[in-house]
Structure 1
Amino acid sequence: MFLSDLPPPPVAAETIVVTAARGGEKRDKSPASISLIAPVTVERQGEPLLASLLRLTPSASLAVAGPAGSQSQVRLRGAEANHTLLFIDGIRANDPAAGNEPRFELLSADLADRIEIVRGPQSALWGSEAIGGVIALSAQPRDGASATAEAGSHRFARVGGSAGYRAGDLTVGIGAGVQGARGINAFAGGLGDRDGYRNAVLRGRLDRVTGPLTLTASGFGIAARSEFDGSDPATFQRADTADSSRNRLAAGRLGGRYEENGWTLSLSASRLGSRNRNLLADVEQNRTSGRRDTLSADVARQIGTAHRVTVAGEWTGERFTASDTVYGGFSNQRRKRDQSAVTAEYRGETGPLIATLALRHDAFSEFRDATTFRAGAFVTLGGGVQLAGSWGEGIAQPTFFDLYGFFPGSYVGNPELKPERSRGGELSLRAVTGPWRGAVTVYRQHLRDEIVASADFLSAVNARGRSKREGVELEAGWSGGERFNLSATYAYLDASEPAGRELRRPRHSGSVAADGALGRFSYGAALSYTGARLDRDFDLFPAPLVRLGSYWLGSARVAYRVAPTVELFGRVANAFDTRVVDVVGYRAEGRSVFAGIRLGAGR
């Protein structure tokens, strides 16, 4: 049976969100603002790269520097691109060798099929980088096997599959996929060479449950190549060049969980490694590599059914190296740092009220220690109406590139930088009545010591004063079971720094999405809006501000099951052939069409 044949989970069901609390939390009883993109939605929308689905989340601004496979940055609630913390199957996955940014351009739909987005500062739970919020990817366990093949415009091709097995106390799941495209000329100045990409992913997970003990082993690997138009080596201005990057990201995790008599003990160890190589006409120019080791232990005590106390300890060590072949070794670096943290969290429920408190202390090897706090409350008012609010703090260490990066004529790192700190709150009014749901959320955050470009744009400094992010989010949806499901979002954002308005953040954004199944047919369609934004044109001095126009993006996928385990489908992206420019000088693909086949058995 195809996943498309299964009804989506109820909107307000007891869906556990693993990143909203250290021990997980039910979505319909969380003070935090949460969006869930379920596996059935991922399949019906049919996007080969998961980042595109984030456009369906309020206050998630996606900026892609060219066609598919190009650098993709997500800014939650106006935060910086490296202020979103990414987990992949429980592994902290921000790339230490690429400015600690999540590598959204590398995340294929064969890597995961469930997306959690928790908006707002979460550092009291998860530490550094969780200023704008947390995004967690996972793959739901399934029995049987399935495979997909697809091809279309710009010589796009994709082959992928997954398989699952359950026997007694053992569950095993694996998935893999390869995709790529010849692409288009990313340079917005006219005709030129095409800039394409290739991406291969592999994931696996094993769980064994023996009475109160659960043992888990999981991991993933990503290998990708992306072609792009960079800068002329002589003038440092954007040009139609033969630049490319080769990226490797791999991680593994071992964990154990023991539950008995109201006590839960969890232990885990993980390692993530990355390597990034930049080439010009296939000649290596420079490379960076990073490694992150994490050890974590949680002890939780459930007191009755209403109270839970969790204490967690964590140690993280990061390593960073950089080298070049064209600058005489001036960019060479070998750095390391580590941090340890202790977190305490309380969750209590009494009648219609739920309260949460979290306190975390981080001890950094290279910076001053930091303590962060988070508090939340959730009240059921009756008649399906709920009121939720939270206040929290966030921190972000300067990245290795901020501190030590070097590119002649364009950037020199600043080892004197301090960590960024944020604090703010939100208030949300929610309603769930039958198949309908809706929410109105207002939020406000202030960021201190924001890391910004220096006056000459050749380095980075901590800005004086405070940066502001405040806005309103509207969400609505209707769940009609298997046949028809509808969701809509709108977000208003006012994001500014002491020097003026923040770049690449639209004031207005929104989306409408629908999916369902009828007989042998299944479908998914989405329409997203990105409002006007500001960017800088670094080809001109002194890098003047440029207005990027607003745009609508439409997509759709229709599938027909010709046999119990055979499905044919067609898909269209950028259906209205909109001109999309998220970064000055780079453009995305126009209207594109695709067709494919899906084979599957089990569920």
Structure 2
Amino acid sequence: MSVILFSAAAAAAASAGMEPVITVTAGREQELSSAADALTVLDDRRIKALNLPQVSDLLRLMPGVSVNVQGPQGSLTQIRIRGAEANHTLTFVDGIEINDPASGNETRFETLSADNAARVELLRGAQSALWGAEALGGVIAVTTPLPTQGIRAEARGEYGSHDSRRGSALLSAGNDKGGVSLDGAWLKTDGIDTLGRGGERDGHENLSLGAKAVVRPAPDGELGLVGRYIRSDTEFDGYNAFFLRDQTDEASRIKTRALRGWATYGTGQDAPWTFTAHGTLVDSANRNRDGATPLNRTDGQRVRIGGQATHRFALGDSNHRLTVAVEDEFERLKASDSQYFGATDQRRTRETVSLVAEWQGQFGDAIDLGAAVRHDDSNRFGSATTLKADAAWKLGHGLTIHGGYGEGFAQPTFFDLYGFFPGSFVGNPDLKAERGWNAEAGIGWTNGTIGIDVTAFTARLKDEIVDVFDPFTFLSSTANATGKSRRRGIETTLEARPAEWLRLSASYSYIDADEQKVAGTPLVREIRRPKHSAALSADAAFDRFSAGLGLSYVGARGDTDFDVSPAADVRLDPYFLASLNLAYKLTDVVEIYLRGANLADERYQDAVGYATEGRTVFGGVRVRFGD
């Protein structure tokens, strides 16, 4: 749902018994009814009705998002928000920044299961003033259920096309004094030939395990601990000796281990003071092999500790909230190879210290304002100061106008700074961080059951990190572009609840994204970003029947084919994806379902040369006990 549809969101949440209308993204919380950002939320009911296996499948149904999958399930998956780059998205899972420090700080979306997710938030636009590096295009937050709402147990088993098997389980027990939850999800498929040439199938297996514990020793205190483990094994077709895509026996294994702990004093929205201390550890490992022969491996680690204090106070008829925070982040990369006899081995570290200040004010029932400033000081790329401001004005009769301005930055990756193949790609330790800004304005209307919002945005990006090639030394490296890239567009959303048992969401996005690597040269259309995209999702529940529908349209976009010399620009055709999940409760505990994906059997490509799955059908059973 769009955050601008204030009363519609609140009414739907109350009548459906959903979670409170609060968005909590990495500790900075805000009531949806007072937010002015372009925020879309998928709640537990919609997620369960759609029954889609991966978070990226859900993101396809949100406005302003381009999803690119380089092949079948398990292949490299990149998310671009409002035309930004793939490394300009910051992702949290249960408050843990899950961007992979061993893979250029991109999120490995191909490993993120949607099973057991209770909420998915998409915050569009530059957000670095609150969340720092990589939040240049937007922020994604995935949360699992809180273990404080009684005893609950769920399990699922599924089988379908391409010999695919899927299972998940959730066990939660607790009350308002605390609780513990355990969750797990597993998926395995024989897959298809990545190149679509009828060769051997490239399989995929993914395992995700999580645990969450919350203790509330006093009415105004809370201690929490969250842990997550992800392991993903994927077969794929790589490149032959002539640097062309070909049938190979290559495979990769990705492991992610993450832990987050926090302590809070002053819980509740009415507490005058709230103090929170937190710490996060993310450890990732990537292994690549060709058959039984190891090729290379990267290991990354991120340690973040911090604290924040929030003061809530009233001045006359206005309510205010002031938050200050400090964070210290340490990252480490270890890269090793067998293929080049250790020539690409690296050991790198960096540290960033951040200070944040945020103010939010509500003036009566009509005006909501917000502002934030953040300063990040890194020992590898210097410092960055980012700003953010937004406002919403409720005009009455369901009308609201809103607008905002935000700045963002993305730090150079370890490979950008220091290279990867010393004999050909050497890196550039003098790189600056990529920087950009986003401005938006829109208008929304709701009557409680129907809501419409139209938002226009414009964005600029400077100092973009690009690859460069020296024809004299035949070495590749990186540099900051001297030109400025431009992104602009319109997002239109519709939320409707025509009946108690039916909810609908629809969106259309127009995004014009152009890059300029050299100042003074013409702007060039960015690849893999459609100008036109649209989505429709719905959930319905009537008696013992329930259903979830997902429709998405992806317009034509460009790509680059490197299998020809010189590399050629190509056009990727538009496509339409349809998914449908139908479920029937045999008893109050047992439910059976039938799920179909790509029902129109579209033969599409998100990246040139990589095939995707056609129509697939799956059947399964779900069991649920408790609240």
- TM-score interval for Structure 1 and Structure 2 normalised by the shorter chain: over 0.9
Show the counterpart of 2:160.
152
CA contact (8 A) 1:236 1:409 kept: no
- Is the CA contact 1:111–1:203 (under 8 Å) kept in the aligned structure 2? no
TM-score normalised by structure 2 residue count: 0.92
**Partner letter of residue 253 of structure 1?**
R
2:363 aligns with: 350
Return the letter of the residue paired with 1:166.
G
Deviation at 1:111, TM superposition (A): 5.3
Query: For residues 219 and 428 of structure 1, what CA distance do their matches in structure 2 show?
Result: 39
- Cα distance, 1:406 vs structure 2: 2.0
Q: Is the 8 A contact 1:12 1:28 kept in 2?
A: no
SS class of match (1:51): helix
Asked whether the equivalents of residues 446 and 452 of structure 2 are also in contact (C-alpha less than 8 Å), the reply is yes
Amino acid paired to 2:415 = F
Equivalent of 2:623, from 590, 599, 602?
Answer: 599
Match of 1:165 among 173, 178, 189: 173
Name the residue aligned to 1:237. Answer: 244
1:329 shift after superposition:
1.2
Give the aligned partner of residue 3 of structure 1: none
The Cα shift of 1:432 comes to 1.4
Task: Tell me, yes or no, if structure 1 residue 559 matches structure 2 residue 583.
Answer: yes
Equivalent runs, 1:247-266 vs 2, <5 Å? 247-259=254-266, 262-266=272-276
Is the 8 Å Cα contact of residues 304 and 327 (structure 2) preserved in structure 1? yes
Q: Distance in 2 between matches of 1:386 and 1:283?
A: 60
Structure 1 residue 290 corresponds to structure 2 residue 300: yes
Given that 1:422 and 1:446 are in contact with CA atoms closer than 8 Å, whether structure 2 keeps it comes out as yes
The Cα of 1:453 is off from its aligned counterpart by 2.4
Looking at structure 1, the residues matched to 131 and 532 of structure 2 have their Cα atoms a distance apart, in angstroms, of 29
- Secondary structure in 2 matching 1:43: helix
Match of 1:462 in 2: 480
2:398 aligned partner = 384
1:400 aligns to 2:406 (yes or no): no
Decide whether the 8 Å contact of 1:75 with 1:132 is kept in 2: yes
> What is the distance in 2 between the residues matched to 1:536 and 1:492?
22
- The alpha-carbon deviation at position 167 of structure 1 amounts to 4.3
252-261 or 342-351: which moved more? 252-261
Tell me the distance in 2 between the aligned counterparts of 1:113 and 1:279: 35
1:415 positional shift = 2.5
What is the SS of the residue equivalent to 1:403?
helix
- 1:15 maps to 2:29: no
Contact persistence 1:111–1:201 (CA under 8 A): no
TM-score, normalised with respect to structure 1: 0.96
Write out per-residue CA displacement over residues 88-112 of structure 1, whole angstroms, 9 at most, x where no aligned residue.
1011110000110011100012352
**What's the secondary structure of 1:68's corresponding residue?**
coil
* Counterpart for residue 451 of structure 1: 465
Residue matched to 1:80: 85
Q: Give the secondary structure class of the aligned counterpart of 1:454.
A: strand
Checking the alignment, whether the CA contact within 8 Å between 1:95 and 1:274 is kept in structure 2 is yes
Structure 1 residue 408, shift from structure 2 partner: 7.8
Distance 2:398 2:342 in 1: 63
Q: How many residues align?
A: 594
Kindly state the Cα deviation for residue 436 of structure 1 after the two structures are TM-superposed. 0.2
1:133 corresponds to 2:138: yes
Shift, 1:29, TM fit: 1.8
Q: Does 1:578 align with 2:584?
A: no
- Give the whole-Å Cα distance in 1 for the aligned partners of 2:547 and 2:424: 47
Q: Is 2:11–2:448's contact at 8 Å kept on the other side of the alignment?
A: no
- 1:54 maps to what in 2? 59
Structure 2 residue matching 1:52: 3-state secondary structure: helix
CA contact (8 A) 1:535 1:546 kept: yes
Counterpart contact for 2:283–2:302, Cα < 8 Å: yes
Report the CA distance shift for 1:407/1:545 in structure 2 as closer, same or farther (over 3 A): farther
Bigger drift between 556-565 and 395-404 goes to: 395-404
Choose from 346, 360, 364 the match for 1:333. Answer: 346
- Residue 195 of structure 2 is matched in structure 1 by 187
Cα pair 2:27 2:95 within 8 Å, conserved: no
Counterpart in the other structure of 2:509: 491
CA distance in 2 between partners of 1:11 and 1:459 (Å): 52
Q: Give the distance between the partners of 1:278 and 1:584, measured in 2 at CA.
A: 22
Measured against aligned partners, the alpha-carbon deviations of 1:183-242 in whole angstroms (never above 9, x if no partner) come to: 000113x1111011000010111111122111001111001101111111x111111111
Q: What CA distance in whole angstroms lies between the structure 2 residues aligned with 1:434 and 1:246?
A: 48
Partner of 1:299: 309
Change (3 A) 1:247 1:10: farther
1:148-180 deviation per Cα after TM superposition (whole angstroms, max 9, x unaligned): 000100011011110110146121111002111
Question: How far is the alpha carbon of 1:401 from its aligned partner?
Answer: 2.2
Cα distance in 1, alignment partners of residues 31 and 415 from structure 2? 38
2:228 aligned with 1:220: yes
Match in the other structure for 1:31: 36
Corresponding residue for 2:520? none
Q: Secondary structure at the match of 2:332?
A: strand
Alignment of 1:103-122 (within 5 A): 103-110=108-115, 112-122=117-127
Whole-Å separation in 2 of the counterparts to 1:112 and 1:270: 20
**Where in structure 1 are there 5+ consecutive unaligned residues?**
1-7
Number of the residue aligned with 2:544: 520
Question: Distance between the aligned counterparts of 1:370 and 1:223, measured in 2?
Answer: 34
Give the superposed CA RMSD: 1.8
How far the C-alpha of 1:597 sits from its partner, in A, is: 0.3
Q: Deviations over 1:255-288 (max 9, x none)?
A: 0110175010000011000000011113210000
CA distance in 2, matches of 1:208, 1:545: 56
Q: Is the 8 A contact 1:78 1:493 kept in 2?
A: yes
Work out whether residues 10 and 479 of structure 1, in 8 Å CA contact, stay in contact via their aligned partners in 2.
no
Bigger drift between 570-579 and 423-432 goes to: 423-432
TM-superposed CA distance for 1:482, in Å, is: 4.5
Task: Kindly indicate whether the alpha-carbon contact (under 8 Å) linking 1:330 and 1:406 is maintained by their aligned counterparts in 2.
Answer: no
Amino acid at match of 1:267: A
The residue identity in structure 2 corresponding to 1:252 is: L
1:417 to 417, 423, 431: 431
Which amino acid is 1:359 matched to?
Answer: V
Whole-Å Cα distance in 2 between the matches of residues 429 and 168 of structure 1? Answer: 39
Structure 2 counterpart SS, 1:577: coil
Counterpart in the other structure of 1:5: none
Matching residue within 92, 96, 115 for 2:97: 92
Match of 1:268 among 278, 287, 297: 278
> 1:416 deviation in Å?
2.7
TM-superposed CA distance for 1:481, in Å, is: 5.4
- Compared with structure 1, are the counterparts of its residues 407 and 306 closer, same or farther at alpha carbon in structure 2 (3 Å cutoff)? same
Q: Deviations over 1:403-430 (max 9, x none)?
A: 2342488744333321100012000211
- Deviations along 1:286-321, whole A, 9 cap, x unmatched? 000100000010001000371011100001000001
Counterpart for residue 530 of structure 2: 506
Note if contact 1:436-1:478 (Cα within 8 Å) is conserved in structure 2. yes
Q: Distance in 2 between matches of 1:569 and 1:282?
A: 39
> In the aligned structure 2, how far is the partner of 1:134 from the partner of 1:192?
38
Conserved 8 A contact 1:409-1:458: no
> Is the deviation greater in 252-261 or in 149-158?
252-261
1:476 maps onto 2:490 in alignment = no
Determine helix, strand or coil for the equivalent of 2:60. Answer: helix
Which residue of 66, 70, 74 corresponds with 1:69? 74
